[in-house]
Amino acid sequence: MSVPTLDRVERLEQTGVSRRQFLKFCSIMAATLALPATQVPRIAKALATAARPPVIWLEFQDCTGDTESFLHAANPTVSSILLDLVSLNYHETLMAPSGKMAEQSLKDTIAMYPGQYVAVIEGAVPGGANGFYCAVGGRSAKSIVQEVCASALKTIAVGACAWEGGWSAATPNPTGAMGVQGAVPGISNLINMPGCPMNVENLAAVFVQYLTYGTWPSTDSAGLPRFAYGETIHEECPRHDHYEEGRFVLEWGDQGHRNGWCLFKMGCKGPQTRHNCPSVRWNSRTNWPIGAGHGCIGCASSGFWDKMTPFYQPLPGGGDDDDD
């Protein structure tokens, strides 16, 4: 496979990302999006030439876990390539300016690129105390997210908190934490990418599809991209056969645990969690929680902080996911 010498590829090479690594990234993106290998040259060509969409990344009630996921990604360094594919105009944690200069960057992007920028939202939006449980630059998080999302080309809610409020919204939810959909009533251009944190390879794939084909990934009724949240972890889990054969870990460190048997009876929430963790995994695709011997806690599921606890007790009724 050959790709013509193009400015962006050359620029990436200057930052330590080789042409070979760039093509590997394109191959991984094709696989993540469930596209055939024949699409890799098209992806490579598009990513080498596509215009960089402006991005506004907002953080509210959060632990910065999604930003950490973004920064620590590999295969090769996803963050290096993604940062070259988009123009990250505003991100409080990453940007050099601070104070009024930082806020000016936000205002300028909204004014200069109406309907052209992508809004990435991390963290829950509090509704209590008129929204002032979280304020930036003297403004409530709720007022900021409403303004930014109003003229965004697309809004992507990353992580469990931006989706539905996450840990901040756990009962009794004293701050009135909510996700983007609750904070911006009637929003129609929203993609939700839950997880605690979200996997940055999935976020990269969303941008890659848009830059390559000019379309956004297909989503389900909850706004979750089907390529990443279409199948349960249970169905794709390498321990699935043990589940079918009734071979379960009954105690941490027992023979079944050492043999890699099913973790359902130790509280694994894989049967009710839709996510591509078994294939995308973490740490340069080297491993993931179940691969390391720990059950899934269902962090990509709706209300997991309340519905999936206690984490070390099995789900009732065998745990089969009957949702559409």
Confidence of residue 324 (pLDDT cuts 50, 70, 90): very low
pLDDT tens digits for range 99-136: 999 999 999 999 999 999 999 999 999 999 988 899 99
| Structural domain harbouring 104 | 7-227
Q: Are 279 and 75 in contact (CB under 8 A)?
A: no
> Is 6's pLDDT higher than 80?
no
d(CA 124, CA 157): 10
pLDDT at 321: 52
Same domain, 63 and 178: yes
Domain boundary among 200, 227, 254: 227
pLDDT at 77: 65
> Is 297's pLDDT higher than 60?
yes
Confidence of residue 16 (pLDDT cuts 50, 70, 90): confident
Domain boundary among 199, 227, 255: 227
Q: What is the dihedral of CA 257, 260, 263, 269, to 10 degrees?
A: 140
Tally of structural domains, the chain: 2
Same domain, 219 and 298: no
Q: What is the dihedral of CA 202, 207, 210, 215, to 10 degrees?
A: 40
Picking from 124, 269, 282, the residue whose alpha carbon sits closest to that of residue 198 is 282
Same domain, 93 and 214: yes
Confidence of residue 318 (pLDDT cuts 50, 70, 90): low
In a 3-state reduction of DSSP, which class is residue 132?
coil
Picking from 136, 92, 89, the residue whose alpha carbon sits closest to that of residue 113 is 89
| pLDDT greater at residue 316 or residue 214 | 214
User: What share of the chain in percent tops pLDDT 90?
Assistant: 77
> Is 320's pLDDT higher than 70?
no
pLDDT at 311: 95
Same domain, 89 and 220: yes
Same domain, 58 and 165: yes
Average pLDDT, the chain: 91
pLDDT at 75: 54
Confidence of residue 309 (pLDDT cuts 50, 70, 90): very high
CATH of the domain at 89: 3.40.50.700
Q: What is the dihedral of CA 234, 235, 236, 241, to 10 degrees?
A: 90
Q: Largest Cα–Cα distance in the chain?
A: 62
d(CA 196, CA 299): 5
Confidence of residue 74 (pLDDT cuts 50, 70, 90): low
Q: Are 154 and 119 in contact (CB under 8 A)?
A: yes
Same domain, 268 and 219: no
Evaluate whether residue 2 is within a structural domain: no
CA gyration radius for the chain?
A: 20
Confidence of residue 173 (pLDDT cuts 50, 70, 90): very high
> Is 4's pLDDT higher than 50?
no
d(CA 132, CA 126): 7
Confidence of residue 21 (pLDDT cuts 50, 70, 90): confident
pLDDT at 11: 80
Range ranked top by mean pLDDT from 11-20, 123-132, 314-323:
123-132
Give every CB contact of residue 98 below 8 A, 6+ residues apart in sequence: none
Segment 283-293 shows an average pLDDT of 91
Find residue 232's DSSP bridge partners.
274
Same domain, 20 and 39: yes
Evaluate whether residue 206 is within a structural domain: yes
Out of 30-34, 93-97, 294-298, 310-314, pick the least confident: 93-97
Same domain, 249 and 212: no
Segment 227-231 shows an average pLDDT of 97
Same domain, 185 and 212: yes
User: What share of the chain in percent tops pLDDT 70?
Assistant: 93
> Is 5's pLDDT higher than 80?
no
Confidence of residue 2 (pLDDT cuts 50, 70, 90): very low
CATH of the domain at 295: 4.10.480.10
